[in-house]
Structure 1
Amino acid sequence: MRDLTKGGKDRTIFIGKSLMTFLKGHFERYQEIKKQLGHEFNPNDLIFFNSRGDYLKLRELHRAYKNAIKRAGLKNARFHDLRHSHASILLKKNVHPKVVSEQLGHAKSSITLEIYSHVAPSLQEDAAHAFDEE
């Protein structure tokens, strides 16, 4: 069984070099663990797994996330806030709203713009400066 989006569609997500580097390092560390513990460890070949090589339980993921937030010195934030931060940062960096909308899986870019309208004032100012440069 495959997990699809809420609308039941496949979605391709492009990732940057830094995330690819992280994932490759994570995979290499996993290969070392697998070598030491044998093929019974993580028999489902999961990318992220608990200390027993099994599926992460929601409680384990939540605990790891809260610890990471604390170590990073960030204020308490919900896991879902990562999605909002991602979208806001991209919009502030002038990534086209259609691209952000596709990454978030919104059916229409108008949904993205409505949800992230708090970013719009800075976009308006940037647009004015961009026009002045022409």
Structure 2
Amino acid sequence: MDIWEELYREAKPYYHPTAVNDFIYTHNVVCALQSKSGKIYTGYCVEALSGVLNLCAERVALLQMYMDSGETEVQRLIAFRDTPPEGNGGMPCGACREAFMQYNQANKNMQIMVDYAKRETVTLGELMPHWWGTSVKPESD
């Protein structure tokens, strides 16, 4: 079993679209990521009618990783609905891309699965070649 199959198998059980109540819907997108240390973290989306409560599966997995280990660097990520991504599927939204870059600029090198059958990936840096944050200078104390 390769790492992509392992990531897929870790995330798959979380796919079971569920209405929590009249306002919140969950589990219709799932994700698994591999941290720099090699540990796997999972997440599932949480969508709410208000919109401001929405969390994508990718950000939930990122937060799980940070809460559990303090790590901020991701090696690999797969996200999908009921089947593995194919074609150009599994792409993180703009908010997720931004979150990964802000947590750690080294995440520009993380591999994102776009076609599971072909094992085709793209890096976050390829999706965000001119990220605005590279021009931000840290404040000194």
TM over 0.5: no
Which one scores higher on RCO, CA 8 angstroms, separation ≥ 6?
2
Normalised TM-score (structure 2): 0.31
Q: Compare the two structures and name the one with the higher strand fraction.
A: 2
Normalised TM-score (structure 1): 0.32
